[in-house]
Amino acid sequence: MKKKVVVQLPRQANPQELRLRYAEELEALDSVAEIVEVDGSTEESFIEGAQDADALLTSWGINITRKIIE
């Protein structure tokens, strides 16, 4: 079973398919993980989408707070 890796949907996302937007990440993870975009406009919406995630990928946008980690 593949792991769930959550990424924050960028506020100004390019109108591309997930496979195009995360081509480099999928190259490394595709055999072991599913990448799922979640709404990161608020901490609560991010937590809701990421609550069962095995990993988070983020580089900017939402701050990964203690509340998100717990």
**Into how many domains does the chain fold?**
1
Identify the domain containing residue 44 by its residue range: 3-69
Reported pTM = 0.74
Q: Are 58 and 65 in contact (CB under 8 A)?
A: no
Confidence of residue 33 (pLDDT cuts 50, 70, 90): very high
29 phi, psi to nearest 5 deg = -110, -10
Within 8 A by CB and 6+ apart from 6, the residues are: 35, 36, 37, 38, 49, 50, 53, 55, 56, 57
d(CA 44, CA 31): 30
Strand residue runs (E) in 10-66: 33-39, 55-57
The tens digit of pLDDT for each residue in 51-61 reads 999 999 887 77
